[in-house]
Chain A
Amino acid sequence: MIKVLFFAQLRDQLGISELSLNSDDNPNVQVLLNNLKDKNENWDRVLSKATLMVAINQTMSNKTATIVSGDEVAFFPPVTGG
């Protein structure tokens, strides 16, 4: 299993902060994203933004990164701290 997290406006737009998915169906970030976008038009629109950021196990990552069972994958919009 993998844990998928959403933050800030992404969480608001999707209406969910966390979900668990089978790691076998989601071998990398791009496939995971495609699977999530298939849910419905809203998910497709929200997760298609070019500025989407991703972190794996709390470290910044990218769409080509591999995912293995036990990973925590977080999606979020560009950060605005400081």
Chain B
Amino acid sequence: MISVQQKDFNQQIEYDRLRQASHTGAVVTFTGLVRDINQGEQITALTLEHYPAMTEKALIDIVEQAKARWSIINVTVIHRVGELQLLDQIVFVGIASLHRGDAFAACEFIIDYLKTQAPFWKKETNSEGESYWVDARESDQTALNKWNMV
């Protein structure tokens, strides 16, 4: 299941959905939250913009690449857009697999890939009331490189 949405998501519902299929032996999930501090700035809110016609397509492509590399029984990717508050959930990646190895690897791959390839952009508001676009991090590109992507 892939979803780009404004509304929040519920961990329990997503987890229960992931563990439905027969043969499932492991579920790994990752959740990204709105941090209250980023690169030394005190953050008060976050807005996520995206390229609506492309985001779902990009996420489908990312999931397909993960399925080609690891044995995956079920996968869920949810990414929120719009205005978010501190500690709000931003992104959810859940993988159900026969064994934990594939589930851990696929989950990390999907979030690494998503961070550098899916068309989302964060705009932060700091405690001074200033809003600015977040710069991409080199560490995110480095994280992607470990998967030997071209």
Contact = CB atoms under 8 A, between A and B. Distances in A.
Nearest to B32: A82
Nearest to B119: A79
A81 interface: yes
Contacts of A74: 51, 54, 119
Contacts, number: 78
Contacts of B2: none
A40 interface: no
Interface in B17-49: 32, 48-49
Interface of A: 5, 7-9, 12, 51, 55, 58-60, 72, 74, 76-82
9 closest residue pairs by CB, A with B: A81-B120, A78-B136, A8-B121, A58-B54, A82-B115, A9-B133, A80-B122, A80-B134, A58-B57
11 contacts: A9-B121, A9-B133, A55-B51, A74-B51, A76-B121, A79-B119, A80-B137, A81-B79, A81-B119, A81-B121, A82-B120
